[in-house]
Amino acid sequence: MTTINSTPVTANRKLLNWVEEIVQLCQPAAVHWCDGTQQEYDALCELMVKGGTFTRLDGKLRPGSFLVRSHASDVARVENRTYICSPNKDDAGPTNNWADPVEMRKKLKELFKGCMKGRTLYVIPFAMGPLDSPLCRIGVEITDSPYVVVNMRIMARMGRVVLDKLGAKGEFISCLHSVGAPLQPGQQDVPWPCEPDVSRKHIVHFTEDLSIWSYGSGYGGNALLGKKCLALRIASLMARKEGWFAEHMLVLCLTSPQGKKYYLAAAFPSACGKTNLAMMQPTLPGWTLRCLGDDIAWIRLGADGRLYAMNPETGFFGVAPGTSNKTNPNAVATVARNSIFTNVVLRSDGDVWWEDMGVPPPEKGMDWEGREWTPGCGRKGAHPNARFTAPAAQCPAIDPDWENPQGVPLSAILFGGRRPSTIPLVNEAFSWEHGVFLGSAAGSETTSAALHQAGVLRRDPFAMLPFCGYHIGDYFAHWLALARRTDRAKLPRIFFVNWFRKSADGRWLWPGFGENSRVLKWICERIEGAGKAVRTPIGLLPAPDALDMKGLDISGADLAELLSLDVEGWKKEAADVGGNYQKFGERLPAELNKELQDLKARLNEEPTMDLGKASVR
How many residues touch ligand SAT (CB under 6 A)?
8
Identify the residue among 79, 295, 355, 561 touching Mn ion (CB under 5 A): 295
| CA proximity to 367, closest of 381, 377, 354 | 381
Q: Is 253 a catalytic residue?
A: no
For position 233 contacting ligand SAT by CB under 6 A, the verdict is: no
For position 365 contacting ligand SAT by CB under 6 A, the verdict is: no
Q: Which of 272, 291, 395, 524 is flagged as catalytic?
A: 272
Identify the residue among 10, 120, 145, 270 touching ligand SAT (CB under 6 A): 270
- Interacting span for Mn ion (CB under 5 A) from 150-158, 269-277, 490-498, 543-551: 269-277
Q: Which one, 96 or 536, has the nearer CB to Mn ion? A: 96
Spatial CB neighbours of 422, under 8 Å, sequence gap ≥ 6: 566, 569, 570, 572, 573
For position 270 contacting Mn ion by CB under 5 A, the verdict is: yes
Partner whose binding site includes residue 220, from ligand SAT, Mn ion, none (CB under 5 to 8 Å by kind) = ligand SAT
- Compute the least distance from the CB of residue 294 to ligand SAT, in Å: 10
For position 240 contacting ligand SAT by CB under 6 A, the verdict is: no
Is the CB of residue 246 less than 8 Å from the CB of residue 232?
A: yes
For position 444 contacting Mn ion by CB under 5 A, the verdict is: no
For position 317 contacting ligand SAT by CB under 6 A, the verdict is: yes
Is the CB of residue 345 less than 8 Å from the CB of residue 366?
A: yes
Partner whose binding site includes residue 227, from Mn ion, ligand SAT, none (CB under 5 to 8 Å by kind) = ligand SAT
Max Cα–Cα distance, the chain, nearest Å: 80
Q: What gap in Å lies between CA 554 and CA 546, rounded to an integer?
A: 15
For position 399 contacting Mn ion by CB under 5 A, the verdict is: no
Is the CB of residue 538 less than 8 Å from the CB of residue 599?
A: yes
Spatial CB neighbours of 78, under 8 Å, sequence gap ≥ 6: 198, 201, 203, 217, 222, 450, 451
Q: Which one, 415 or 581, has the nearer CB to ligand SAT? A: 415
Q: What gap in Å lies between CA 38 and CA 5, rounded to an integer?
A: 18
For position 227 contacting ligand SAT by CB under 6 A, the verdict is: yes
Footprint of ligand SAT on residues 136-155 (CB under 6 A)? Answer: none
Give the DSSP letter string of 43-109: HHHHHHHHHTSEEEPPTTTSTT-EEE---TT-SSB-GGGEEEE-SSHHHH-TTSEE--HHHHHHHHH
CA dist 216 → 68, 178, 224 (Å): 18, 6, 13
How many residues touch Mn ion (CB under 5 A)?
2
Q: Which one, 250 or 264, has the nearer CB to ligand SAT? A: 250
Partner whose binding site includes residue 221, from ligand SAT, Mn ion, none (CB under 5 to 8 Å by kind) = ligand SAT
Give the DSSP letter string of 406-438: T-EEEEEEEEE---SSSS-SEEE-SSHHHHHHH
- Interacting span for ligand SAT (CB under 6 A) from 97-105, 221-229, 525-533, 582-590: 221-229
Q: Which residues bind Mn ion (CB under 5 A)?
A: 270, 295
- Which residues are known catalytic residues? 272
Q: Which residues bind ligand SAT (CB under 6 A)?
A: 77, 220-221, 227-228, 270, 317, 449
